[in-house]
Amino acid sequence: MTPAQTLPMAASDRRLLVLVGIVLLALVTLPWLGSALIVDKLIYLFILVMFAVMWNLLAGYAGLVSVGQQAFIGLGGYALVRLVEAGLPPFPTIFLAAALTGVVAWALSWFMLRMKAGEFAVATWVIAETIRSIVMFDPIVQGETGTSLLALNAYDPDLRRMVLYLLSLGSMVVMVGGTWVLLQRRIGAESQAIRDDEDAAASIGISTFQVKQRIYIIASVGCALAGALWLASAITFQPRTSFGVQWSVFMLFMVLVGGIGTFIGPILGALLFFALQEIFGDFGAWYLAGIGIVAILFALYLPRGLVGLWLDRGRDEPLSLRKRLRLRE
């Protein structure tokens, strides 16, 4: 029996990738043309995309539903503030902060990944609260007051914005592309097997703990990097904001509405969430309550999100990670 042949990428997907390439080229040139406001907003959009893609990797592909990724968002920001305070240059330190947070995630993973589903979810939240309480003991954070990344004020605002914009854009492209490559590889199939049935996955020889640990660390470093970038653009570090559970609600909303466990879903979700925030953000609490209600409705009635709607109409999932096989006649 000859093995089935895998087909190359669909023509529509290739067209989509060309389009994405053009958009990215346009985005690279944008800061020289666009206004400061637009650049700032786009930095936030890139950060949202990173959060969504990382949470989808964790929950959608490895089945690790965390409501405590704000632990790493906050830690990334805190590490940046701490290291810059110690005299390191701000921009390269963003990446160092993310790497250091990865070490924390590695240490936590031994403990966290032994829990299941709901227990894991609440425990991640408790860990985030615990880390926040510990960080608040640091004298430079001054408890609830927080602190600012004053070292950034030494740079010209336009230069600072430009550098941050390009760093965020680059990080986003690396994260989205890296996720694509990662999920195409063996670990992608393994993590999905674990998500669907952990015992069955273990019984066919997958080192379930190791796979979950890798995904957990990657997703945490990703969140820390996005968190550090967000802090660098927001400048002020406040423990309640950086470690706030609202990040988890945002991530969940973007991934759920876009389509959990699909590649393109979280990116669509992030774009939609960004648009909603621009349009309805002024309504404050009512807007956030609405976000919660929409999340409930999607979870109950459209759990596969917008991509699910697309699939229901009999179309192929764009940029699907599923392998397409040619059937032998």
Partner 1 sequence: MLDSLIQGILLGGYYAVLAAGLSLMFGVVRFINLAHGDMAVLGALGSLWLVQSAGVVVPLAIVITLIGMAALGWLMQRFIFERALAGGFLIPILTTIGLGAALQNGMFAAFGSNTQSLGAHIGNLSWSSWQLPGGIIVGQLPVYMFATAVLVLGSLHLLLTRTAFGRAVRSTSTDAEAASLCGVDPRKVHRWAAAIAVALAGLAGIFLAMRAQVTPFSGPMMLIFAFEAVVIGGIGSLRGTLIGGIVLGVVQALGALISPQISILAGHLVFLAVLGWRLMHVAASERGGWRAALKAVFNKPDLSRSQA
Which CB, 144 or 329, lies closer to partner 1?
144
Min dist CB 261 to partner 1, Å, is 9
Q: How far is the CB of 131 from partner 1 (least distance, A)?
A: 9
C-beta of 121: minimal distance to partner 1 in Å? 5
Nearer to partner 1, 184 or 246 (CB): 246
Give 75 or 252: the residue with its C-beta nearer to partner 1: 252
Beta bridge partners of 326: 5
Kindly list the residues in this chain that would bind partner 1 in the complex (CB under 8 A). Answer: 59, 63, 65, 67, 111, 114-115, 117-119, 121-123, 125-127, 129-130, 133-134, 136-137, 143, 245-246, 248-249, 252-253, 256, 260, 284-296, 299-300, 303
- Residue 113 C-beta: closest distance to partner 1, Å: 10
- State in angstroms the smallest separation of the CB of 176 from partner 1: 22
Smallest distance from the beta carbon of 84 to partner 1, in angstroms? 24
Q: Are strands 236-237 and 325-326 parallel, antiparallel or unpaired?
A: unpaired
Supply the minimum distance, in Å, between the C-beta of residue 260 and partner 1: 7
Q: How far is the CB of 45 from partner 1 (least distance, A)?
A: 21
- Of 179 and 248, nearer to partner 1 (C-beta) is 248
Q: Do 177 and 49 meet the contact criterion of CB atoms below 8 Å apart?
A: no
The helix/strand/coil state of 325 is strand
Entry field: residues in the chain: 329
State which residue, 36 or 126, has the beta carbon closest to partner 1: 126
Identify whether the C-beta of residue 3 lies closer than 8 Å to the C-beta of residue 128: no
Cα dihedral 231, 284, 297, 268 in deg (nearest 10):
-40
Q: How far apart are CA 207 and CA 111, in angstroms?
A: 17
Which two structure tokens, joined as six digits, stand for 253?
Answer: 């909303």
Nearer of residues 94 and 127 to partner 1, judged by Cβ: 127
CA distance readout (Å), 290 to 106, 126, 197, 266, 277 = 36, 26, 34, 19, 11
Give the residue from 267, 265, 287 showing the smallest Cα distance to 277: 287
C-beta closer to partner 1: residue 114 or 323: 114
CA distances 254 to 14, 56, 58, 251, Å, are: 25, 9, 14, 5
35 and 232 Cβ atoms separated by less than 8 Å: no
Q: Closest by alpha carbon to 219, among 40, 63, 17?
A: 63
Question: Which C-beta is closer to partner 1: that of 50 or that of 131?
Answer: 131
Q: Tokens in use for 288?
A: 């956030």
Cα–Cα distance measured from residue 122 to residue 65, given in angstroms and rounded to the nearest whole number: 10
